[in-house]
Structure 1
Amino acid sequence: MINSDEILKKLAIESNIRQEEIPDIDLYMDQVIQLFDSKFMKSLRNEEEKVLTKTMINNYAKGKLFIPIKNKKYSKEHIMLISMIYQLKGALSINDIKAILAPVNERIEKENFDLESFYSTLIELQQKNINNITDQIKIQEHEIEMLENDDQLKQILFISALSNMSNAFRKAAEILVDDLLENNKKKGDK
């Protein structure tokens, strides 16, 4: 059975695009894809999986998940927003992501919103989560070791325990999305 250290290595949860790694110049779509590939490739499940494709980016643009692009180039702000989409899409629907990012996109377009500071805070929170995730995976592994001797059954229990935690966190995020939507609706009704 694969152990927690191997799982954590394959997770590559430390992978992220930090603000200082985003070029100050606007990038073409192929350059955006290369940047994401360089940062997230090792976190993919298999070689057939793609980090980001032209179709994905075009669908995000058509769906208005981020501010409009100019001259087929993506600014630092676009890269930060696409990174946020990339991080969210593993747990939430595209509609939920659009709802989450709508206030951010509005602030970028209508006011002097400091997206770089907001994004830095997000990256900081994600880095803090690495320790929590690492601890929880190791705790689950230890508890299962104490409960079961058969390696195959251990692995099934481990998968089930991690899936249960994942579902609980996803559901908590969905509850917060619904609350955000409800609060935005109330503000719009006033």
Structure 2
Amino acid sequence: MENVHDFFKQIQLNSQLSLDDIPDLDLYMDQVIQLFENKFDVLKRDEQEKVLTKTMINNYAKGKLFYPIENKKYSKNHLMLIAMIYQLKGALSINDVKTTLHQLNKMITEENFALANLYESYVQLAEDSMQQMKLETEQLMHDVEEHSKSLPSQNADYLQELLLVTSLANMSNYYRRAAEKMVDRIANKMDT
């Protein structure tokens, strides 16, 4: 399973749009799409996959996942919100993303909330989580190797990779369920 160890060292699972990546001037939709394509291209599984499309952005706007734009341009705050939406939609339903970001959008529009500090924390926590995941994956690979010793040696590499895939999928489900429970807490507080 050595090649799997190398594989996890090489893949770039975490790519975030940093504040330095976001221009200080407002962007048109095509410029937003190009920025996201350039930044998140490494996360695509194949060349046909799109990071962000006009339809996606329009659906986010219609669904009120971010506050309305002005003069067909997206501000730095919009780009930060779209980056968060991009990451959240990988694990949560669009409705859960909307619930999660509703109060934040309200704070930005009604209280002139400075999003940059929160966003910097978000990006740093994502990086910290990636480092934690690397450590957990190393431990998981060790555990898989231990458990697979009792399996037939024929097709051993496949069986180890199968156990690793199923374990990672289980971990993903546990984290998603925990995130959904947090969304429910946010929704319950909004209702009161």
Q: TM-score, normalised by structure 2?
A: 0.92
Task: Identify the residue that residue 181 of structure 2 maps to in structure 1.
Answer: 175
AA paired with 1:151?
A: D
How many aligned residue pairs are there? 185
Q: Which residue of 2 aligns with 1:6?
A: 7
Consecutive unaligned residues of structure 2, counting only runs of 5 or more, are none
Equivalent residue number for residue 48 of structure 2: 48
Q: Is the 8 A contact 1:88 1:97 kept in 2?
A: yes
Give aligned-pair identity as a percent.
49
Q: Distance in 1 between matches of 2:85 and 2:112?
A: 22
Question: Where does residue 157 of structure 1 map in the other structure?
Answer: 163
- What CA RMSD, in Å, does the superposition of the two structures yield over aligned residues? 1.2
Structural mapping, 1:93-132, within 5 Å: 93-132=93-132
Distance 1:99 1:8, change over 3 A: farther
Give the drift of 1:4. 3.3
Superposition pairs for residues 21-100 of structure 1, below 5 Å? 21-100=21-100
The one-letter amino acid of 1:185's match is: D
Q: CA deviation at 1:130?
A: 1.3
Q: How far, CA to CA, are the matches of 1:7 and 1:135 in structure 2?
A: 11
SS of the aligned residue for 1:13 comes to coil
Gaps spanning 5+ residues in structure 1: where? none
TM-score by length of 1: 0.93
**Which letter maps to 1:40?**
F
Deviations 1:84-137 (A, max 9, x none): 000101000000000001000000110021111111110111111111111111
